[in-house]
Structure 1
Amino acid sequence: MKKLFFLLMLAGAVSCGKAPQELTVMTMNVRYDNPEDGENNWRFRRERVGRLIREQQVDLLGTQEVLSNQYDDLRAELPAYASVGVGREDGARAGEFNAIFYRTERFDLLDSGTFWLSETPEVAGSKGWDAACERIATWVILRDGTNGRELLFVNTHLDHMGEQARREGVTLLLDRIAALRGDRPVILTGDFNADPSSTVIAHVLEDGTLRSAWDAAAVRHGAGWSFADFGQIPVGERPLIDYVFFGGGFEADECTILPDTLGGGYVSDHAPVRALLRYAE
Structure 2
Amino acid sequence: MKKISILFLTVIIISCSSENEVFNIMTYNICYDNPNDGENQWANRKEFLVDQITYNEVDIFGIQEGLHHQVVYLTENFKDYSYVGVGRDDGKEKGEYSAIFYNSKKFKVIDSNTFWLSETPNKISIGWDASMERICTYAEFESVNSKQHFLVFNTHFDHIGDVARLESSKLIYSKIKKINSKNLPIFVMGDFNLLPSSEPIQYLSKKLNDSKEVSLLKPFGPIGTFNGFKFHEPVRDRIDYIFTNNEKVRVNKYAIISDSKDCKYPSDHLPVVIEVQFK
**Equivalent residue letter for 2:72:** D
Q: CA deviation at 1:146?
A: 2.0
Q: CA deviation at 1:85?
A: 1.1
**Equivalent residue letter for 2:107:** F
**Equivalent residue letter for 2:275:** L
Preserved contact between residue 141 and residue 150 of structure 1 (Cα < 8 Å): yes
Listed one character per residue, the Cα deviations across residues 224-250 of structure 1 (whole Å, up to 9, x for unaligned) are: 1000100178427x3000011111410
- Number of the residue aligned with 2:239: 241
Q: CA deviation at 1:264?
A: 4.9
**Cα distance in 1 for residues equivalent to 2:144 and 2:17:** 7
Q: CA deviation at 1:215?
A: 1.2
TM-score normalised by structure 2 residue count: 0.90
**Equivalent residue letter for 2:214:** A
Question: 1:153 and 2:152 equivalent?
Answer: yes
Return closer, same or farther for 1:80/1:20 CA change in 2, 3 Å cut-off.
Answer: farther
**Cα distance in 1 for residues equivalent to 2:262 and 2:143:** 33
Q: CA deviation at 1:79?
A: 2.1
Cα root mean square deviation, aligned: 1.8
**Equivalent residue letter for 2:170:** T
Listed one character per residue, the Cα deviations across residues 176-217 of structure 1 (whole Å, up to 9, x for unaligned) are: 11111121110000001111111111111223xx10111110
Preserved contact between residue 250 and residue 279 of structure 1 (Cα < 8 Å): yes
- Number of the residue aligned with 2:23: 23
Gaps of 5+ in 2: 1-12
- Number of the residue aligned with 1:123: 123
- 5 Å-filtered alignment, 1:250-269, equals 250-262=249-261, 264-269=263-268
**Cα distance in 1 for residues equivalent to 2:31 and 2:135:** 16
**Cα distance in 2 for residues equivalent to 1:264 and 1:108:** 38
**Cα distance in 1 for residues equivalent to 2:171 and 2:209:** 17
- Number of the residue aligned with 2:211: 213
SS of the aligned residue for 2:174 comes to helix
- Number of the residue aligned with 1:197: 197
Return closer, same or farther for 1:77/1:265 CA change in 2, 3 Å cut-off.
Answer: farther
Listed one character per residue, the Cα deviations across residues 13-53 of structure 1 (whole Å, up to 9, x for unaligned) are: 79x95794211000000000000111110011111111111
Return closer, same or farther for 1:22/1:212 CA change in 2, 3 Å cut-off.
Answer: same
SS of the aligned residue for 1:166 comes to helix
Question: 1:54 and 2:60 equivalent?
Answer: no
Return closer, same or farther for 1:187/1:148 CA change in 2, 3 Å cut-off.
Answer: same
TM-score normalised by structure 1 residue count: 0.89
- 5 Å-filtered alignment, 1:1-281, equals 17=17, 20-124=20-124, 126-182=125-181, 183-207=183-207, 210-219=208-217, 220-231=219-230, 234-235=233-234, 238-247=236-245, 248-262=247-261, 264-280=263-279
SS of the aligned residue for 2:242 comes to strand
Query: Which segments of structure 1 move beyond 2 Å, counting only runs of 4 or more?
Result: 16-20, 262-265
**Cα distance in 1 for residues equivalent to 2:104 and 2:55:** 16
Q: CA deviation at 1:138?
A: 0.3
**Cα distance in 1 for residues equivalent to 2:27 and 2:169:** 17
| Residue-pair matches, total | 263
Listed one character per residue, the Cα deviations across residues 28-83 of structure 1 (whole Å, up to 9, x for unaligned) are: 00000000111110011111111111111101101000001111111111122110
SS of the aligned residue for 2:140 comes to strand
SS of the aligned residue for 2:241 comes to strand
- Number of the residue aligned with 2:5: none
Q: Percent same amino acid at aligned positions?
A: 37
Preserved contact between residue 149 and residue 184 of structure 2 (Cα < 8 Å): yes
**Equivalent residue letter for 2:131:** A
SS of the aligned residue for 2:28 comes to strand
SS of the aligned residue for 2:96 comes to coil
